[in-house]
Structure 1
Amino acid sequence: MTDYSRVGALAKEWEPYSNFWRIAHDWVMDEPKWRHGRFDSFDAKDMENKIGMGSKQLHKILRQLSTTPENGPLIDVATVVKQQLEDFQPYVPIVTALRNPGMRERHWEAVGQLLAGEGQEPLEVGPDHVKDNGDGSSNFTLNSFLDMGMLEVAEKVAEVGERSAKEFSIENQLRGMQEAWQAVEFDCKETYRNTGTYILKGSEEASMLLDEHIVLTQAMQFSLYNKPFKEEIDAWATKLLYVSECLEAWLKVQRAWMYLQPIFDSPDLMVQLPNEGKKFKSVDSTWRQVMNRVSRDCKVINACSQDGLLEKWGQAIKDLDWVQKGLEDYLEVKRAAFARFYFLSNDELLEILSQTKDPTRVQPFLCKVFENMSSLAFNEDLTVSSMSSLEGETVPFVELLSTAGSNVEHWMTEVEVAMREAVRAALYNAVLTYVDVPRTEWCVSHPAQTVLNASQIHWTSEVEAHIKGNTVGVYAEQLHQQLMDLVALIRGGLSKLQRTTVGALVVIDVHAKDVVEKLHEEAITTTSAFEWISQLRYYWNKDDTGRENCWVMMVQTDFPYGYEYLGNTFRLVITPLTDMCYMTLMGAQSLNLGGAPAGPAGTGKTETTKDLAKALAKQCVVFNCSPEMDYIMVGKFFKGLACSGAWCCFDEFNRIYIEVLSVIAQQLLVLFGAKAELASYSECKELDFEGSTINMKPTFNVFITMNPGYAGRTELPDNLQALFRPMAMMVPDYALIGEIMFYAYGFASGRALAQKMVSTFKLSSEQLSSQDHYDYGMRAVKSTIEAAGLLKRLHPDQDENQILLRALNDVNVPKFLKDDLPLFANIITDLFPDTEPPVVEYGELKPALVAALDRASMQATDYVMLKCIQLYDTLQVRHGMMLVGPTGGGKTNTYKALQAAMTSLSSDDELPEATFQKV
């Protein structure tokens, strides 16, 4: 068997010999070519590598060969080759410098000057001056350069080469930028909406490239090697700056054009703003001409380099600014004519003003300028006969109101007057008929708002009569019976509107009963006692104009009823905390101050303010504050409040920056100071405010809510704090709220049920695990009560404990983790020991879910069906929700299956109407 173990060792021994002869061969072959060949025919990098690496390798080879005595002749040859390579080494920098790809004629002239010497005519060298020497060689070889004495000026030649490389780099960058811009285009292929013209798209890439290239060009302008291209670089820099300015102006014009184009597309607004419309049409014509040209050549560099384009855009910006100023002034005039327009955005107001020929188009915006007016009943002659709320309640106007041929701000002002007259007439009618009709019939025969307030007017009168007659205890029993009659009425066959009315009346009646019982316990015998005057009392008295109107009184404050139409909405449950907040805010009104409820989330700061506004029939605009708010925005809002006499609740007021708060303090100081100068609520005050003359109504007020101590909140300046009366809010009495709400939904044992519900949440918060999505506060209480109320309507004869048990399960079980479910079940068992969980029937929902899952190629397992049913139950009592679980847990498929099932059932004609809605 052949032994190959020595092959590797032999190969290693042979390696120095092989490398030497390869280097020697390359040198013998290349050296004549390098010396005598045309200078631009060989690779300078290859020469540099072979000479440099060859010298290093020969040094190593000689060391290896010297270990063997027989290599003497070979060492002599290797030494000669090594010496030849080292002798050639000084020529390499010259070749590298002159073979630079950036060498141009100007550089060869500089080399020729160096070879000729200073003050002499430069020698003609370079690829453009090749001459035959007559012996087969030329003057464009390394040897010819050496013969000219290039080695003596090698350093300066290297400098020329370096300069050529730097200039070549600048040239390449310049050409690269110019080529890059040939590929950058605007996207102008599709017309913008229905305008028949185009807008710039894809400008972000151009803007980024402009910024990058302007910086790069500026660096080139400061380079030491830019002399050959200085004029070209300066011209390119000028062009880029022009394109940048042009693009910036273009985009500014585009933003303004896109905003104004739909506005002046309306014939109505063109008639109302003829000068502005004419100016805009001029800009619009320029825009269309330019964009049509750009649509044919979309290259950014070409589009932005059009002659005179920057001047066109500069003029267009001036014209559009003038148009926008005219538009703002026009909107300000309209807002001054109808102050509630201040509560609309510019876009919403323009939408209204662009429909002056058709007053019915204003209806979608009614709920934004009135508290709860969603529609008006227009006759064929465009007269208005009644108004309706979001809930569908309708109140007739006292007289027909004509809108034909009138500006929208004028007939909207008339609508406001007609609304107040209609509410006043309905309230007066409800007050008159109260004593003639049984109360259970009376309360479903009038608009909800008038039912509540007429009842309070009579309650105030009756309480004072019984206090004077010392029969308060008798009246307390009468109120209790009235309450039970209403609870029984709710269980009957009422419509949705009637049930809401009676439920709200129950909330008011429970508080009225509690107040009278307290008066009886404390043996109040005079109507001037604090226990009585600290209540919200309603009177039908003459005002300072001699006209009979409703007045609301509390302690030292008398306030005129606002007659704002509130529709058929539920009322806030009145707790001792609510009473205290009412008293503080009403006191602030009489002191010409604002109100400032403060406290943690969920304590009712905003809702209590809104409910007091409902009690006084005032429009209350809730404004969610943010750090982006500025004093100009707030100043406009204050104008609307002061001119309309409305209330505003600034939610989380201390999120606004301190600089803005300081200006707001000065604005409020002016308004509150003017209000203090008026002697009665029927007067108005004319004053200059934020550059305008406004007519201020003294019924306006500003309330703020705050969460002190929260992250990102600002401490109010002292001058602002002095303008508000503070009120500390705390967690309300859930049991009391639950009791009253249960009564309002028709439960007979409201107190016992409320205590069980509160105990359930208290024990759950103590025993169950702590999770971010667990909530046992006011929101959970409200959801449970609403679920119980819904079940009570569906099953009026079912045991009330069973109803509450199911409501607690429906609201809470879907959100609990697996480990917490047994603990919650034990809590329920302890609190409802004798109550069997009700058997729940979902009718056609389960078969529809099975069919929906089958269509989606999924199995209807018990777990999936359970989650779909839980999601359905949760949807009945919550406005929004979050599905939480691991990836692949079925979150998406659960809601999609329920969506498909509910949509299919919504079109089932055999099911009762509105059982299921399309999703």
Structure 2
Amino acid sequence: MFASRFLSTFETQVVGWQKTLANISETTNLLGEVLRTWDFLENLFIHSEEVKKELPDESERFLEIDDDVKQLLRRGFEARFAKVFCADPSIYQVLEKTQTQLSMCEKALNEFMDGKRQAFPRFYFMSSANLLDVLSNGNNPARVVPQFPKFFNAIEKYDLEYPDGPGTRPVATGMHACIGKEFVPFPEPLPLNGKVEVYLERCIEAFRGALKHFAIRDLRSYAEHECEADGVARGKWLLEVKAAQGALLVQLITWVQLVEGAFQVPPDPDDDDAEEVEMKVTEAWKRQQELLLDLIRLTQTDLTKPDRQKVMCAITLDAHNRDVQERLVKDKVTSADAFQWQSMLKCYWVPDPPGEGTAQMQICDARIWYAYEYLGNGPRLVVTPLTDRIYVTATQALHLNMGCAPAGPAGTGKTESTKDLANALARACYVWSSDRILQIAFESPGISSQ
């Protein structure tokens, strides 16, 4: 309209409308920002008992903000027209004041979330929206459980029971996998009491304790059924285990015992010990081949999908173990100290005086405790000689508390090999893009200390 040649005739009206529309634009934009922030914070400061308890001053301030915003909305409803509503000069002043107070509440909330992240570091791997959803429902574990896949890599949900009746805090009795299909019961029910970061930390202790419990039981059962000498019994044992991860752990421990048992030949001054050891190593290799063939025959039977997945993972690891033993036979390795054997990722059950022992991964001079992070019942990566070499390098870096940066063209398996090593060590592994890493490094420097 200002470009019209007839502007002089309507200049007063045009200037008036320009000011009115500019005022409407500024007011509605500010109102939109205030309403978005208010709607975002309302669920936390009004409906979350935990936030009220942790941030009492900000919660009181937000109650006043809530009254002001609702009063503004009521005035807008009564005014009906945006022109009339925005023409009131007090509206913009109230919005500016409300925005300032909301910024103070939001800043306090960010500090509160950072404190929660430091208390439970896995919160760093969640978006702010998901974290706020968890914190706002912290007193209701049933609403927190659907968020488990966001910070537990392989857990879909926990089974909850309410022994004290509806409306009370539940207890967890087991976990369902989101990688593959599997249910692992807990040896003892887990009460989900206290703050959200407290009972989530206990959730980690619960699934680690459950996996260790079943690993101990499966290790005993493996020996009782003499699975090391009977492939058919070994297959039945595999189908009966509660956690596929525990079965693979026991499989690795018993394979190490099989190989190193062949190296341990009693000295005899009348015989050539080297030849006898070579013969024992060859016999162990043939024994491993027979165990592998029995598992392959098991796949020809009628198996459920979860059981078939367990058997396929066992076959994948058994095939690698067989190839390792074949190289030991060809290289005529007769000692457990030989590099051909030391460079393999091995697992030992280490006695623990206070308890019943625990698993430890060993490769060269690196000693890494098995972490019992739940992995579900998913497929495992095929381990090649190159993968074994990567394991040596990466585990030495971990052992020396140094970083490890695999290099190579895209699609050659750098990320997958790293993830599979994390699975072998039962460690949580999170994959980020580089821009996400920089964002977290700048926004949440506290993660570097966790």
TM-score bracket, shorter-length normalisation: 0.7 to 0.9
* 1:633 partnered with 2:440: yes
| 8 Å Cα contact 1:385/1:401 also seen in 2 | yes
| 8 Å Cα contact 2:139/2:196 also seen in 1 | no
| 8 Å Cα contact 1:342/1:639 also seen in 2 | no
SS of the residue 2:175 aligns to: strand
* 1:411 partnered with 2:199: yes
Partner residue of 2:259 out of 454, 463, 468:
463
Q: Aligned partners of 1:505 and 1:578: how far apart in 2?
A: 18
**Cα offsets for 1:840-891 (capped at 9, x unmatched):** xxxxxxxxxxxxxxxxxxxxxxxxxxxxxxxxxxxxxxxxxxxxxxxxxxxx
Q: Aligned partners of 1:397 and 1:319: how far apart in 2?
A: 47
| 8 Å Cα contact 2:45/2:59 also seen in 1 | yes
SS of the residue 1:622 aligns to: coil
SS of the residue 1:342 aligns to: helix
* 1:566 partnered with 2:348: no
Q: Aligned partners of 1:556 and 1:326: how far apart in 2?
A: 48
Change (3 A) 1:585 1:543: farther
- Once the 2 structures are TM-superposed, how far is the Cα of residue 240 of structure 1 from its aligned partner? 6.8
Q: Aligned partners of 2:370 and 2:437: how far apart in 1?
A: 33
Partner of 2:72: 290
SS of the residue 2:383 aligns to: coil
Partner of 1:579: 388
Partner of 1:329: 111
Q: Aligned partners of 1:630 and 1:301: how far apart in 2?
A: 47
Partner of 2:167: none
| 8 Å Cα contact 1:599/1:605 also seen in 2 | yes
Q: Aligned partners of 1:637 and 1:623: how far apart in 2?
A: 15
**Cα offsets for 1:495-530 (capped at 9, x unmatched):** 111110010000000000000000100001111111
AA aligned opposite 1:442: W
**Cα offsets for 1:316-335 (capped at 9, x unmatched):** 11110111122222222322
Q: Aligned partners of 2:185 and 2:148: how far apart in 1?
A: 16
TM-score (ref. length: structure 1): 0.43
Q: Aligned partners of 2:258 and 2:155: how far apart in 1?
A: 33
- Once the 2 structures are TM-superposed, how far is the Cα of residue 542 of structure 1 from its aligned partner? 4.2
AA aligned opposite 2:293: M
* 1:538 partnered with 2:337: no
Partner of 2:237: 442
- Once the 2 structures are TM-superposed, how far is the Cα of residue 537 of structure 1 from its aligned partner? 0.5
Change (3 A) 1:516 1:174: farther
- Once the 2 structures are TM-superposed, how far is the Cα of residue 475 of structure 1 from its aligned partner? 1.0
- Once the 2 structures are TM-superposed, how far is the Cα of residue 486 of structure 1 from its aligned partner? 0.4
SS of the residue 1:434 aligns to: helix
Partner residue of 1:499 out of 291, 308, 316:
308
AA aligned opposite 1:318: T
Partner of 1:422: 210
* Structure 1 residues without counterparts, runs of 5 or longer: 1-165, 182-212, 214-235, 641-670, 672-693, 697-919
- Once the 2 structures are TM-superposed, how far is the Cα of residue 487 of structure 1 from its aligned partner? 0.6
Partner of 2:250: 454
| 8 Å Cα contact 1:468/1:525 also seen in 2 | no
Q: Percent identity?
A: 31
| 8 Å Cα contact 1:424/1:563 also seen in 2 | yes
| 8 Å Cα contact 1:375/1:388 also seen in 2 | yes
AA aligned opposite 2:373: E
| 8 Å Cα contact 1:249/1:313 also seen in 2 | yes
AA aligned opposite 1:505: A
Partner of 1:342: 124
| 8 Å Cα contact 2:177/2:376 also seen in 1 | yes
Partner residue of 2:404 out of 585, 588, 595:
595
Q: Aligned partners of 2:326 and 2:15: how far apart in 1?
A: 88
Partner of 2:183: 394
Partner of 1:378: 160
Map of 1:88-487 to 2, 5 A cutoff?
Answer: 169-170=7-8, 172-178=10-16, 181=17, 236=19, 245-269=26-50, 271-272=52-53, 273-297=55-79, 299-381=81-163, 382-390=170-178, 391-404=180-193, 406-437=194-225, 438-446=233-241, 447-469=243-265, 470=277, 471-487=280-296
SS of the residue 2:294 aligns to: helix
SS of the residue 1:540 aligns to: strand
**Cα offsets for 1:254-287 (capped at 9, x unmatched):** 2312322333452535643443233223222222
| 8 Å Cα contact 2:171/2:190 also seen in 1 | yes
* Structure 2 residues without counterparts, runs of 5 or longer: 164-169, 226-232, 266-276
**Cα offsets for 1:338-358 (capped at 9, x unmatched):** 222222222222222333443
AA aligned opposite 2:192: T
- Work out which structure has the larger RCO, using CA pairs closer than 8 Å and 6 or more positions apart in sequence: 2
Partner of 2:274: none
- Once the 2 structures are TM-superposed, how far is the Cα of residue 619 of structure 1 from its aligned partner? 1.0
Q: Aligned partners of 2:234 and 2:102: how far apart in 1?
A: 63
Change (3 A) 1:549 1:324: same
* 1:529 partnered with 2:318: no
SS of the residue 1:398 aligns to: strand
**Cα offsets for 1:195-235 (capped at 9, x unmatched):** xxxxxxxxxxxxxxxxxx5xxxxxxxxxxxxxxxxxxxxxx
**Cα offsets for 1:71-124 (capped at 9, x unmatched):** xxxxxxxxxxxxxxxxxxxxxxxxxxxxxxxxxxxxxxxxxxxxxxxxxxxxxx
- Once the 2 structures are TM-superposed, how far is the Cα of residue 630 of structure 1 from its aligned partner? 7.4
SS of the residue 1:499 aligns to: helix
- Once the 2 structures are TM-superposed, how far is the Cα of residue 305 of structure 1 from its aligned partner? 2.6
AA aligned opposite 2:117: R
AA aligned opposite 1:352: V
Q: Aligned partners of 2:154 and 2:294: how far apart in 1?
A: 29
| 8 Å Cα contact 2:43/2:136 also seen in 1 | no
| 8 Å Cα contact 1:256/1:320 also seen in 2 | yes
AA aligned opposite 1:443: L
SS of the residue 1:511 aligns to: helix
Change (3 A) 1:451 1:171: same
| 8 Å Cα contact 2:381/2:420 also seen in 1 | yes
- Once the 2 structures are TM-superposed, how far is the Cα of residue 594 of structure 1 from its aligned partner? 2.0
Q: Aligned partners of 2:257 and 2:8: how far apart in 1?
A: 95
**Cα offsets for 1:655-695 (capped at 9, x unmatched):** xxxxxxxxxxxxxxxx5xxxxxxxxxxxxxxxxxxxxxx5x
- Once the 2 structures are TM-superposed, how far is the Cα of residue 607 of structure 1 from its aligned partner? 1.4
* 1:609 partnered with 2:383: no
AA aligned opposite 2:31: W
Q: Aligned partners of 1:630 and 1:372: how far apart in 2?
A: 22
- Once the 2 structures are TM-superposed, how far is the Cα of residue 244 of structure 1 from its aligned partner? 5.4
Q: Aligned partners of 1:630 and 1:313: how far apart in 2?
A: 36
| 8 Å Cα contact 2:373/2:427 also seen in 1 | yes
SS of the residue 1:491 aligns to: coil
- Once the 2 structures are TM-superposed, how far is the Cα of residue 454 of structure 1 from its aligned partner? 0.7
- Once the 2 structures are TM-superposed, how far is the Cα of residue 574 of structure 1 from its aligned partner? 0.8
AA aligned opposite 1:414: R
SS of the residue 2:362 aligns to: strand
Q: Aligned partners of 1:341 and 1:545: how far apart in 2?
A: 32
SS of the residue 1:531 aligns to: helix
Q: Aligned partners of 2:140 and 2:104: how far apart in 1?
A: 29
